Amino acid sequence: MSTRYTPILSLLTEDLLIQVNEKLVQDSDRKKWRLICKEFHRVDSLTRKTLRVLHVEFLLTLLKNYTNLHTLDLSVCPRIEDGTISLLLHHVDHSIWARNLKCLNLSRANGLKFAGLEMLVGACKGLESVDVSYCCGFGDREAAAISGCEGLRELRMDKCLGVGDVGLAKIVVGCGRLERLSLKWCMEISDLGVELLCKKCLELKFLDVSYLKVTSESLRSIASLPKLEDLAMVGCPYVNDVGLQFLEIGCPSLQKIDVARCDCVSSSGLSSLIGGHSGLLHIDAGHCFSEVSPTIVKCIQKLKNLNTIIIDGIRVSDTIFQTISSTCNSLIEIGLSKCEGVTNMGIIKLVSGCVNLKIINLTCCRSIANAAICAIANSCRNLLCLKLESCNMITGKSLEQLGLHCLLLEVLDLTDCCGINDRGLERLYRCSRILCLKLGLCTNISDKGLFYIASSCPELQDLDLYRCQNIGDDGLAALSSGCKKLRKLNLSYCVEVTDKGSKSLGYLEELSDLELRGLDKITSVGLTALVTRCKRLIYLDLKHCEKIDDSGFQALAYYSRNLRQGGWGNQDTAMNKNECIAIFYGDTRYLNETE
């Protein structure tokens, strides 16, 4: 049927088109595809499995169009309400879309209440994964509505503040096949709820009970879970070594354990846990206890398969690095943030054995110098992420080594590394895969440095230039031409930036998060130029941009339809600000205004 329109399509059958379509990864590419012709659009509609909607207004049409969706993401669409759901279910072709749906992301959907949820759950029979995290208003009723998903395997309900034991009980009784459950910050849940959970949901593989007021009694019940692989219990202040001893003899499949910030856990508790599970892959014990004891070091010798060890904030000595280096050859990630006692020697020992390291966090390890970074760069050729915040002794020499050897580098955090300058950034020219670069407080960086970045990091998505005061409009111009994929940009207190720079930022069409705090040279003109082009802006911080007046806000209100969170205040012209904000509120109800 496509032949009717253009000859070239006669060669492309629907199957072929679908195959081609599947090759497209980027959203922008798919968008272009859709715009080519009706046939292409139809193919796209048929094959599309996931949908992330920004505006609830379009949801109706979109769901009519895409009937084979497996995943519906409404997390950036917080205006969804019970009425919307009712409408969607009754006016979209008998809710065909709901039947195929497997994953539903309702994160931050605070407008939704249990009635709507129940309708939704009732219509989406095949749901396997639901995310209602950060729906702070959710309580037991909503949990009861969710419990209607009998086939549910994954449920995230982080920070559903109202959900207590009763709600959890509803869910565990209704959804007995749960495999992954996150209860982080569900502060009302207690030992009772966890105990019931562990009795009813024996399929659980992942459980997050972080920040709950549970005690070691919960761990006793958790220890009875036969299939549990991943247990996160960050910041459980009432859990102690006794609980970890329960885990030592239980949970035969345990692979990952996160006991970070559990104040009552000591190194002996952790070592008993490790003693029972030599197959552990992942340990996070950050800020748990003050010092790595010899017993822990001894235990670590058993963990041949360890992939990740995070011991943030714990005093370490070179011996542990020696042990890890000789034992854990498959180590991929190490977190040493704020660890005291991390020396160049220690790092050199570490990387001599752990050559597969991909993620290294050395935040605030202030005694680290170029020698350690050079050793890392030489040994860990697969390095993806290196965090060196506040490592003041790092200079361009380190960057040079990284630029030479670590070509896969994606994340580089150099915040507050005063030793970094334009020349250092120039050495990164071979690290073309960098996605995230943090240069906050690197006061020695100027437009020239930005130029290097723009030319060598075309993939860059996240750039932090907080208080890089030598940055000006020229640097931004280079950036906007070189880093087209930039999504997050922090220019706060880069006081040299003017309307011109702001205007050039407008060419960054992907930009969604922008911080312009304290830029008092930017006026409404610059803001207007920016917002007319950056249609995807979701977060915009304009605090202390004192030259921006009502016209700027009007433009913002008019153009930035996707804005969800904004920060403004301290502008001189507060005359009609409220009016502008009223326009905002008409659109972005959940806007967070910070005065």
Partner 1 sequence: MEPNDRLSLDAWANPSSSCNGLPRKMSLENPSFTNFNLQQQEQKWDDTSILNYGIRIEPPFLEFNQASESEYLLSSTCNNQPKVLDQEDGLNNEALQTSKSLDWDPRTMLNNLSFLEQKIHHLQDLVHLIVGRKGQALGGHDQLVTQQQQLITADLTSIIVQLISTAGSLLPSVKHKLSTGPPNGQLGEFLFPPLAGMNCVPQPQHGSGSKAVQPLQHGSGSKAVQPQCVTGSKVSDQCNQMDVTGSFGTEQNLSIEEHEMKEEEDADEGENLPPGSYDILQLEKEEILAPHTHFCTICGKGFKRDANLRMHMRGHGDEYKTPAALAKPNKESSLEPVIIKRYSCPFAGCKRNKDHKKFQPLKTILCVKNHYKRTHCDKSYICSRCNTKKFSVMADLKTHEKHCGKDKWLCSCGTTFSRKDKLFGHIALFQGHTPAIPLEETKGPSLSCDKMDGNEASNKSGNINFSFGSNAGGGAQNIIEVKEDADDPASYFSPLSFDTCNFGGFHEFPRPTFDDSESSFSFLEAP
567 binds partner 1 (CB under 8 A): no
- Residue 102 CB, shortest distance to partner 1, in Å, is 21
Q: By CB under 8 A, name the one of 52, 55, 90, 94 that touches partner 1.
A: 90
299 binds partner 1 (CB under 8 A): no
- Residue 191 CB, shortest distance to partner 1, in Å, is 9
89 binds partner 1 (CB under 8 A): yes
Is the CB of 96 or the CB of 411 nearer to partner 1? 96
**Shortest CA distance to 15 belongs to which of 36, 38, 51, 46?**
46
92 binds partner 1 (CB under 8 A): no
- Tokens matching residue 355: 């050559």
Binding string, 112-151, against partner 1, x = CB under 8 A?
Answer: -xxxx-xx--x--------------x-xxx--xx-x----
Is the CB of 86 or the CB of 378 nearer to partner 1? 86
- Residue 93 CB, shortest distance to partner 1, in Å, is 15
User: Where do we find the tokens 């966090």?
Assistant: 361
How far is CA 205 from each of CA 176, 201, 208, 236, rounded to the nearest angstrom? 13, 10, 10, 20
493 binds partner 1 (CB under 8 A): no
> Residues with Cβ < 8 Å from 4, sequence gap 6 or more?
none
321 binds partner 1 (CB under 8 A): no
56 binds partner 1 (CB under 8 A): no
217 binds partner 1 (CB under 8 A): no
451 binds partner 1 (CB under 8 A): no
Q: By CB under 8 A, name the one of 32, 38, 91, 315 that touches partner 1.
A: 91
Residue 307 burial (CB count, 10 A): 18
- Residue 15 CB, shortest distance to partner 1, in Å, is 38
87 binds partner 1 (CB under 8 A): yes
333 CB burial (10 A radius; 0-12, 13-18, 19+): buried
61 CB burial (10 A radius; 0-12, 13-18, 19+): exposed
**Shortest CA distance to 127 belongs to which of 165, 164, 178, 87?**
178
Phi, psi of 319 (to 5 degrees): -60, -40
- Residue 163 CB, shortest distance to partner 1, in Å, is 11
55 binds partner 1 (CB under 8 A): no
**Shortest CA distance to 274 belongs to which of 153, 430, 264, 292?**
292
- Residue 139 CB, shortest distance to partner 1, in Å, is 6
- Residue 80 CB, shortest distance to partner 1, in Å, is 11
**Shortest CA distance to 405 belongs to which of 387, 379, 386?**
379
User: Where do we find the tokens 């009723």?
Assistant: 141
Per DSSP, 93 falls in state: G
User: Where do we find the tokens 């399929």?
Assistant: 203
- Residue 187 CB, shortest distance to partner 1, in Å, is 16
Q: By CB under 8 A, name the one of 31, 99, 199, 304 that touches partner 1.
A: 199
Report angle CA 192, 195, 196 to the nearest 5 degrees.
90
552 binds partner 1 (CB under 8 A): no
340 binds partner 1 (CB under 8 A): no
Helices 344-353/370-379 angle, 10° precision: 0
- Residue 433 CB, shortest distance to partner 1, in Å, is 47
- Residue 207 CB, shortest distance to partner 1, in Å, is 17
Contact 454, 479 (CB under 8 A): yes
- Residue 133 CB, shortest distance to partner 1, in Å, is 19
Contact 360, 337 (CB under 8 A): no
For residues 415 and 570, what is the distance between their CA atoms, to the nearest angstrom? Answer: 27
| Contacts (CB under 8 A) with partner 1, residues 156-195 | 162, 165-167, 169-170, 173-174, 192-193, 195
Residue 172 burial (CB count, 10 A): 22
Query: Strand ranges (DSSP E) for 45-128?
Result: 50-52, 71-73, 103-105
Phi, psi of 500 (to 5 degrees): -65, -45
Is the CB of 104 or the CB of 175 nearer to partner 1? 175
Contact 422, 429 (CB under 8 A): no
User: Where do we find the tokens 């070592």?
Assistant: 271
Is the CB of 189 or the CB of 580 nearer to partner 1? 189
- Residue 73 CB, shortest distance to partner 1, in Å, is 22
- Residue 238 CB, shortest distance to partner 1, in Å, is 17
The single-letter code of the amino acid at 143 is A
- Tokens matching residue 486: 């930039």
Is the CB of 72 or the CB of 120 nearer to partner 1? 120
**Shortest CA distance to 194 belongs to which of 163, 168, 159, 228?**
168
Given the rule CB under 8 A, which of 82-90, 304-312, 432-440, 541-549 is the region that contacts partner 1? Answer: 82-90
Is the CB of 171 or the CB of 556 nearer to partner 1? 171
| Contacts (CB under 8 A) with partner 1, residues 93-112 | 111
409 binds partner 1 (CB under 8 A): no
60 binds partner 1 (CB under 8 A): no
Helices 38-47/14-23 angle, 10° precision: 70
Residue 437: in which H helix or E strand, if any?
A: strand 436-438
Is the CB of 110 or the CB of 395 nearer to partner 1? 110
Quick check: helix, strand or coil at residue 518? coil
79 binds partner 1 (CB under 8 A): no
589 binds partner 1 (CB under 8 A): no
Binding string, 384-403, against partner 1, x = CB under 8 A?
Answer: --------------------
Is the CB of 162 or the CB of 341 nearer to partner 1? 162
- Residue 81 CB, shortest distance to partner 1, in Å, is 6
**Shortest CA distance to 54 belongs to which of 446, 578, 538, 544?**
538
Question: Which residues are at the interface with partner 1 (CB under 8 A)?
Answer: 81-83, 86-87, 89-91, 111, 113-116, 118-119, 122, 137, 139-141, 144-145, 147, 162, 165-167, 169-170, 173-174, 192-193, 195-196, 199-200
